[in-house]
Structure 1
Amino acid sequence: MQKITTSLEEAAEAGGHSGRTTPVWRTGAEQPWDPEDLAVAQGKYPTPENIARARAELERDGAAAIERTVP
């Protein structure tokens, strides 16, 4: 019977992260995002204005723009 872990640290110690002692975090920003995708993820219609705003946000903030929306 496998022990149920109560924290990410315990999971890492149990070998849940390929022998790493610290967990590996994944975010939505690990994949490429188009401005249209960001606008829709923010709950907005992909109108030219919303796409332009999302494009500016991606250029200004990079991955942080995505992580704020899709953690």
Structure 2
Amino acid sequence: METSQPDASRPSEERVTPDSLLHTRTGTEVAPEDLVLATGRDLTPRNLEWAQRKLDREGPAAIEKLLP
């Protein structure tokens, strides 16, 4: 008796996220919290300070380096 669903293991066109939705838009407002969460880190004062410094140096494009 087979319990796996063959369709579940294959990507379907209906289940694939369009490429345009996977990218962020530079020029939009990016908060330090966004940058911290994009790295998978916890929202701690130290990480928020790091993110703010990175945003100060690189601007909103900083998040583009972390996300596809």
TM class, shorter-length: 0.5 to 0.7
Moved over 6 A (4+): none
Pairs aligned (count)? 45
1:45 to 38, 42, 46: 42
Equivalence map 1:56-71=2 (5 Å):
56-71=53-68
* Cα offset, 1:49, TM superposition: 0.2
Unaligned runs of 5+ in 2: 1-22
The yes-or-no answer on 1:36 pairing with 2:33 is: yes
Indicate the percent of aligned positions where both proteins have the same amino acid. Answer: 40
Considering Cα pairs closer than 8 Å and 6+ residues apart, tell me whether 1 or 2 has the greater RCO.
2
Q: Distance in 1 between matches of 2:45 and 2:59?
A: 20
1:63 deviates by: 2.8
Is there any run of 5+ residues in structure 1 with no aligned partner, and where? 1-26
The amino acid across from 2:67 in the alignment is V
Alignment of 1:54 onto 2:33: no
TM-score, normalisation: structure 2: 0.58
CA distance in 2, matches of 1:47, 1:61: 21
